[in-house]
Structure 1
């Protein structure tokens, strides 16, 4: 009888130990689940507002703040006032603006005056001009326009400027001139400016509603070459003014499909003022908040 009880107790003990062992094994084993549907991890939030692609961007270009100091008097170079000379074609002349006062050159004059920057701005730009029209007097090139001695680099340097701004937009491409020859002309202009110890800025090309896609693509190609050629002295306005196909954005387009309207001129003026060299020379700081 005692043996039977002992066996029973032993059986109960073995059962208890078995159950206990199973619980230990389940506790130590990893939990594996098979979800009915995978849920992707949320992407990190980097911008709470909608992203705007470059070809959709029509936000204002805000000019920088004046440092409230006069322009360096050494920039006068014998002139009554420090002088900036503009060379270029239609946009620099003011084509597309509803009134002369809304062209980018006149907007520049207005802001400089408002900021008490006593500077003379001489505009020698003329519509239809190419890089050949502003080459040094006496330059000759077969089947290419001769320089206009009243509106070229030679005349500009006669005005003893401290800064020359050159804005030729699309006419070289429209006339079929190669990028190589246009850049060769630009290099001649640059060498003359450097030799005369004159600061300079070259504006890049603007978009244009060329029928040929190849011509519109050349705008981008030439712009990239220009920036690579002289990155510290190029004002890059192409993408800001362009649609994805490098036609002019409707917000900035003048009716002729070649030039920019009042808002487009505001963009160019804003980019000129925000160019690091321009800010350094004229005394401007950070962009307005």
Structure 2
């Protein structure tokens, strides 16, 4: 009886060790300074360190995921090409301690490549960078491992032309590797169109490295990929938004959609704090599908929208779209505060006299005060008390019964 029990235990142990679900996983992280943890106050707070911690919560069973980080600050795609690759004239040779060949020597299940900006700084074209990334991806995939490539990242020490090139590189990577790309751009970039690294997510001592908060966002992007899953995530190939009469209409297209997929449309006034404004769940799987949705009460001024896609095995966010709600026929020609912020003064220009509803609205869309005001020709100056308001951004909205309106932001 004891012998049979011993044999049973041995057999179970062999099965457990041989079965993929029980096998130890290996991840290799390649790249430059962001992958190496620069900008974070400590490596465990970098995106790579957080990823390792998230997979290694249990340290007692001997089968936790093994991580190898071979990233080197300042490296471009050329230093990480496979051993034996001959670079063009004027381009650096590979580093055999940090390249694709070295990564594959660990027998990885997953390789993550994070080379976000140094190629542009070195003057390499997007064409040659994308060629290098495709060769790296092909080398890893042909070995049987999964390869994920992060997009470019914004940085503040580059020229306008270089920052535009980083934006174009981001789009190229997302297009070339739709399922196996990881968006490291949207959570770090400013919303003013200058393609800069946001101050609140930047290491204050560096113009190019994300801080702990920025690394946290990057970790979230990698975590959402569910890198060991055998099920490919849905592809969100289009997301559009259109404003009409204070309503924002959305349309989006998906490929390879799992059953029971939920789409949450989220809105933000500051591109940081998002709230759900529309949700739909689709029970059946779809190879290709189109969807529409509506936000029936768009915020005044600029709003930001994104789609949160929730599948049974995946969760991720779309890129963010900005919408400006200023469909107005007459003008707030002047708007300022005085008396140390106790009063807001607005000059209203109009070509037709009459009454209008004047509202002050906060960035969450809450109406703080409203009053009917008579608007004379050619303009009227109105004064509203705001002494009790906290410091911050607000909107003044002037509207008439026939939906003519004007919206303008002010700072208290």
- Residues 1:136 and 2:86 aligned together: no
Cα distance 1:73–1:160, how it changes in 2: closer, same or farther (>3 A)? Answer: farther
Tell me if the contact between 2:110 and 2:228 (Cα under 8 Å) persists in the aligned partners.
Answer: no
Aligned to 2:214: 264
Aligned to 2:65: 119
Once residues 268 and 96 of structure 1 are traced to their aligned partners in structure 2, the CA distance between those partners, rounded to angstroms, is 12
Instruction: Tell me which moved more, 259-268 or 109-118.
Output: 109-118
- TM-score, length of structure 2 as denominator length: 0.49
Runs of at least 4 residues of structure 1 off by over 6 A? none
SS of equivalent to 2:20: helix
Shift of 1:278: 1.5
Once residues 125 and 193 of structure 1 are traced to their aligned partners in structure 2, the CA distance between those partners, rounded to angstroms, is 16
Aligned to 1:9: none
Which runs of no fewer than 5 residues in structure 2 stay unpaired?
Answer: 1-15, 232-311, 317-412
Shift of 1:114: 2.2
Aligned to 1:250: 199
Tell me if the contact between 1:75 and 1:162 (Cα under 8 Å) persists in the aligned partners.
Answer: no
Cα distance 1:118–1:145, how it changes in 2: closer, same or farther (>3 A)? Answer: same
Once residues 192 and 101 of structure 1 are traced to their aligned partners in structure 2, the CA distance between those partners, rounded to angstroms, is 29
Aligned to 1:174: 121
Shift of 1:123: 0.3
Aligned to 1:15: none
Query: Residues 221-232 of structure 1 correspond to what in structure 2 (within 5 A)?
Result: 221-232=168-179
Larger strand percent: 2
Tell me if the contact between 1:216 and 1:247 (Cα under 8 Å) persists in the aligned partners.
Answer: yes
Once residues 229 and 145 of structure 2 are traced to their aligned partners in structure 1, the CA distance between those partners, rounded to angstroms, is 14
Residue number among 93, 105, 109 corresponding to 2:52 in the alignment: 109
Residue number among 159, 181, 202 corresponding to 1:234 in the alignment: 181
Q: Quick one: higher RCO (CA 8 Å, sep 6+), 1 or 2?
A: 1
- TM-score, length of structure 1 as denominator length: 0.69
- Residues 1:84 and 2:27 aligned together: yes
Which runs of no fewer than 5 residues in structure 1 stay unpaired?
Answer: 1-69
Query: Residues 12-51 of structure 1 correspond to what in structure 2 (within 5 A)?
Result: none
**Equivalenced residues, count:** 214
Tell me if the contact between 2:121 and 2:158 (Cα under 8 Å) persists in the aligned partners.
Answer: no
Structure ID, larger Rg: 1
Aligned to 1:18: none
Shift of 1:210: 3.3
Cα distance 1:286–1:223, how it changes in 2: closer, same or farther (>3 A)? Answer: closer
Shift of 1:92: 0.3
Aligned to 1:273: 223
Aligned to 2:324: none
Cα distance 1:156–1:211, how it changes in 2: closer, same or farther (>3 A)? Answer: closer
Larger helix percent: 1
